[in-house]
Amino acid sequence: MSTEYTTLLVDRTDGVLTVTMNRPERKNAANGTMWRELGSVFEDVAVDREVRVMVLTGAAGAFCSGADLSDPSDMAGRPGDPFLVQMRALGDLALRLHRIPKPTIAKVGGVAAGAGMSLAIGCDLVVAGSSARFSQIFAKRGMSVDFGASWLLPRLIGLHRAKELAFFADILSADEAAEFGLVNRVVADEDLDAFVDGWARRLADGPTLALSMTKSMLNGAFAISMEHALEEESRSQAVNFGTEDTREAIRAFMEKRSPKFQGR
């Protein structure tokens, strides 16, 4: 993953890929270029065996203030495409994030609004600095929710609270977002980097294939019966028992040491 990006900073350290949205002059609002570059990164992360965890964050004290509406002809997809085509391209990007077969962490400092908030809650885990702010700002812009929010919010926080956020477009503090169930952890701003680094390191050291199957099962849990879920669990465990990681975990347990997972 050596591509040069104009709106992103991408850093790889020991299996952790950190993607920083980097348009600080616009509070990291996503223009067409950023959406396309994020799509490219998400595709690469999904297939790159060296990447075991992705952290998504923003530069200069903001996460992402949403879509940059200054050029409506270049929202997503190909510049100049009809709005419906561009919005479908944006939806494809949300699905690409959802389907990354590895843990993803949103590290949120500052504002996460509109599609920027949807980006954050589209990750598997959300860690917010104490000064973070969240808003489904769409209604205040005369728009309906997008980037997967209509699917994500009811599953994360329930239908009535999802409607409250979407209808009123209020700004939530980090603590309020945690109370709603949108955030896993709120930490002091100065501790945000270290906390997320710790979580990312733990996940990168974990059993890659097992975590991937767990993620897939949890993502699909609301769409299937318990019988189907139990069958998926059985199939996944059958796969796990054929992996070196599970054999290593069993050896480590017997030898009273920590396992060293290799992702195979």
Q: Are residues 136 and 214 in the same domain?
A: no
Q: Are residues 26 and 70 in the same domain?
A: yes
Q: Are residues 171 and 108 in the same domain?
A: yes
Q: Give the integer Cα–Cα distance in Å for 163 and 150.
A: 9
Q: Are residues 176 and 244 in the same domain?
A: no
User: Which pLDDT tens digit goes with each residue over 66-103?
Assistant: 999 888 778 888 888 999 999 999 999 999 999 999 99
pLDDT at 36 over 90: yes
Q: Beta strand 133-135 with 111-113: parallel, antiparallel or unpaired?
A: parallel
Task: Find the helix packing angle between 32-47 and 83-99, rounded to 10°.
Answer: 30
H helix intervals, the chain: 32-47, 83-99, 115-121, 149-157, 159-168, 174-180, 192-204, 208-219, 226-240, 244-254
Task: Look up residue 117 and give its DSSP letter.
Answer: H
Q: Are residues 213 and 244 in the same domain?
A: yes
CB 56 within 8 A of CB 106: yes
Average pLDDT value for residue range 23-36 = 96
Q: What is the mean pLDDT of the chain?
A: 96
141, part of any domain:
yes
pLDDT at 125 over 80: yes
φ/ψ of residue 152, rounded to 5: -70, -50
Q: Give the integer Cα–Cα distance in Å for 15 and 103.
A: 11
Task: Say what percent of the chain tops pLDDT 70.
Answer: 99
Q: Are residues 151 and 121 in the same domain?
A: yes
Average pLDDT value for residue range 20-47 = 97
pLDDT at 255 over 80: yes
Q: Are residues 50 and 153 in the same domain?
A: yes
Q: Give the integer Cα–Cα distance in Å for 105 and 261.
A: 20
260, part of any domain:
no
pLDDT value of position 243? 96
The total number of structural domains in the chain stands at: 2
Q: Are residues 28 and 121 in the same domain?
A: yes
User: Which pLDDT tens digit goes with each residue over 207-249?
Assistant: 999 999 999 999 999 999 999 999 999 999 999 999 999 999 9
Q: Give the integer Cα–Cα distance in Å for 152 and 76.
A: 20
261, part of any domain:
no
User: Which pLDDT tens digit goes with each residue over 170-205?
Assistant: 999 999 999 999 999 999 999 999 999 999 999 999
Q: How far is CA 182 from the centre of its chain?
A: 12
164, part of any domain:
yes
Average pLDDT value for residue range 117-121 = 98
Q: Are residues 127 and 57 in the same domain?
A: yes
19, part of any domain:
yes
Q: Are residues 50 and 63 in the same domain?
A: yes
Q: Give the integer Cα–Cα distance in Å for 186 and 199.
A: 13
243, part of any domain:
yes
User: Which pLDDT tens digit goes with each residue over 145-170?
Assistant: 999 999 999 999 999 999 999 999 99
CA angle 84, 89, 93 (to 5 degrees): 145
pLDDT value of position 212? 97
Q: Are residues 125 and 248 in the same domain?
A: no
Beta bridge partners of 56: 19, 106
- Identify the domain boundary among 172, 187, 204: 204
199, part of any domain:
yes
pLDDT at 1 over 60: no
Q: Are residues 106 and 47 in the same domain?
A: yes
Domain range for 197 is: 8-204
- Identify the domain boundary among 204, 219, 234: 204
List Cα–Cα distances, 163 to 123, 169, 171, 181, 200, in angstroms: 21, 10, 14, 14, 32
CATH for 177: 3.90.226.10
For 54, the enclosing helix (H) or strand (E) is strand 53-58
pLDDT at 130 over 60: yes
Q: Give the integer Cα–Cα distance in Å for 72 and 84.
A: 12
2, part of any domain:
no
Q: Give the integer Cα–Cα distance in Å for 1 and 243.
A: 27
